[in-house]
Amino acid sequence: MPLPERPVKPQITAGKFDNVDLRVARVTAAPLAEGTRFPCRVLSLDLGPAGQRTSVGQYALVAEADLVGTMVVACVNLGARDMGPHRSEALVLGTRHRDSPDDQAQAVPLSADPAALPGTPVF
Protein backbone atom coordinates (compact mmCIF):
# COMPACT_ATOMS: atom_id res chain seq x y z
CA MET A 1 0.00 0.00 0.00
CA PRO A 2 1.50 3.39 -0.93
CA LEU A 3 2.01 6.00 1.76
CA PRO A 4 -0.63 8.72 1.92
CA GLU A 5 0.67 12.00 0.57
CA ARG A 6 1.64 14.39 3.35
CA PRO A 7 3.71 17.47 2.61
CA VAL A 8 6.80 18.26 4.66
CA LYS A 9 5.92 20.59 7.55
CA PRO A 10 7.45 24.08 7.78
CA GLN A 11 10.90 24.32 9.33
CA ILE A 12 11.27 25.21 12.99
CA THR A 13 14.29 26.46 14.86
CA ALA A 14 16.56 24.22 16.91
CA GLY A 15 15.47 26.26 19.93
CA LYS A 16 11.83 25.29 19.41
CA PHE A 17 12.78 21.63 19.03
CA ASP A 18 14.76 21.84 22.29
CA ASN A 19 11.44 22.58 24.02
CA VAL A 20 10.15 19.09 23.12
CA ASP A 21 10.83 16.67 26.00
CA LEU A 22 11.32 13.20 24.51
CA ARG A 23 12.05 10.36 26.92
CA VAL A 24 12.53 6.61 26.89
CA ALA A 25 9.61 4.87 28.61
CA ARG A 26 8.95 1.24 29.47
CA VAL A 27 5.44 0.01 28.66
CA THR A 28 4.10 -1.75 31.76
CA ALA A 29 0.52 -2.41 30.57
CA ALA A 30 -1.41 -1.92 27.32
CA PRO A 31 -5.08 -2.94 27.54
CA LEU A 32 -7.54 -1.99 24.83
CA ALA A 33 -9.33 1.29 25.55
CA GLU A 34 -13.10 1.31 25.85
CA GLY A 35 -15.13 4.26 24.57
CA THR A 36 -12.67 5.84 22.10
CA ARG A 37 -13.59 6.93 18.59
CA PHE A 38 -11.05 4.54 17.01
CA PRO A 39 -9.58 1.35 18.48
CA CYS A 40 -6.87 2.37 20.95
CA ARG A 41 -4.74 1.05 23.76
CA VAL A 42 -4.09 2.68 27.13
CA LEU A 43 -0.33 2.43 27.59
CA SER A 44 0.99 2.65 31.15
CA LEU A 45 4.48 4.10 30.99
CA ASP A 46 7.36 3.92 33.45
CA LEU A 47 9.60 6.96 33.03
CA GLY A 48 11.96 6.09 35.87
CA PRO A 49 12.77 9.22 37.90
CA ALA A 50 10.24 11.20 35.80
CA GLY A 51 7.39 9.06 37.19
CA GLN A 52 4.48 7.22 35.64
CA ARG A 53 2.33 8.44 32.74
CA THR A 54 -0.54 7.14 30.67
CA SER A 55 -0.66 7.39 26.90
CA VAL A 56 -3.74 6.61 24.82
CA GLY A 57 -2.99 5.87 21.19
CA GLN A 58 -3.96 3.87 18.14
CA TYR A 59 -1.83 0.82 18.87
CA ALA A 60 -4.74 -1.65 18.74
CA LEU A 61 -3.19 -3.68 15.89
CA VAL A 62 -0.17 -4.49 18.07
CA ALA A 63 -0.73 -7.27 20.60
CA GLU A 64 -0.54 -6.26 24.25
CA ALA A 65 2.07 -8.97 24.83
CA ASP A 66 4.25 -7.38 22.13
CA LEU A 67 4.01 -3.96 23.79
CA VAL A 68 4.49 -4.75 27.48
CA GLY A 69 8.14 -4.55 28.44
CA THR A 70 9.24 -2.64 25.35
CA MET A 71 11.13 0.62 25.53
CA VAL A 72 9.37 3.33 23.52
CA VAL A 73 9.94 7.01 22.75
CA ALA A 74 7.42 9.38 24.36
CA CYS A 75 6.89 13.14 24.40
CA VAL A 76 6.10 14.01 28.00
CA ASN A 77 5.48 17.77 27.92
CA LEU A 78 2.51 18.27 25.59
CA GLY A 79 -0.02 18.45 28.39
CA ALA A 80 -2.90 16.08 29.01
CA ARG A 81 -5.51 15.27 26.37
CA ASP A 82 -8.86 13.53 26.83
CA MET A 83 -9.42 10.53 24.56
CA GLY A 84 -12.98 9.43 25.16
CA PRO A 85 -13.19 8.57 28.86
CA HIS A 86 -9.38 8.29 29.15
CA ARG A 87 -6.74 10.94 29.84
CA SER A 88 -3.52 10.77 27.82
CA GLU A 89 -0.56 12.38 29.62
CA ALA A 90 2.17 11.55 27.10
CA LEU A 91 2.43 10.96 23.36
CA VAL A 92 4.15 7.73 22.34
CA LEU A 93 5.75 8.31 18.96
CA GLY A 94 5.04 5.80 16.23
CA THR A 95 4.84 5.04 12.55
CA ARG A 96 1.81 3.91 10.59
CA HIS A 97 0.97 0.21 10.95
CA ARG A 98 1.00 -1.51 7.56
CA ASP A 99 -2.56 -2.83 8.17
CA SER A 100 -4.05 0.46 9.35
CA PRO A 101 -7.40 1.30 7.76
CA ASP A 102 -7.26 4.44 5.62
CA ASP A 103 -9.56 6.33 8.02
CA GLN A 104 -7.39 5.59 11.07
CA ALA A 105 -3.81 6.17 12.22
CA GLN A 106 -3.09 2.74 13.68
CA ALA A 107 0.58 2.70 14.54
CA VAL A 108 3.64 0.79 15.68
CA PRO A 109 5.54 2.61 18.45
CA LEU A 110 9.07 3.85 17.91
CA SER A 111 11.34 1.76 20.06
CA ALA A 112 14.45 2.66 21.98
CA ASP A 113 17.42 0.47 22.80
CA PRO A 114 16.24 -2.20 25.25
CA ALA A 115 19.25 -1.37 27.46
CA ALA A 116 18.19 2.29 27.84
CA LEU A 117 16.95 3.30 31.27
CA PRO A 118 13.37 4.57 31.65
CA GLY A 119 13.35 8.37 31.72
CA THR A 120 16.51 8.75 29.61
CA PRO A 121 16.24 11.88 27.42
CA VAL A 122 16.05 11.38 23.66
CA PHE A 123 17.88 13.92 21.54
Q: What is the pLDDT of residue 1?
A: 55
- Is residue 84 pLDDT above 70, yes or no? yes
Average pLDDT of every residue of the chain? 95
> Which residues sit opposite 53 in a β-bridge?
45
Edge-to-edge strand ranges of the sheet holding 71-75: 52-57, 41-46, 22-29, 71-75, 91-92
- Is residue 4 pLDDT above 80, yes or no? no
- Is residue 13 pLDDT above 70, yes or no? yes
Using one digit for the tens of pLDDT, what is the confidence trace for 21-48? 999 999 999 999 999 999 999 999 999 9
Q: Which domains does the chain have, with CATH numbers?
A: 20-109 (2.40.50.140)
pTM higher than 0.85: yes
Q: What is the pLDDT of residue 6?
A: 80
Q: What is the pLDDT of residue 65?
A: 98
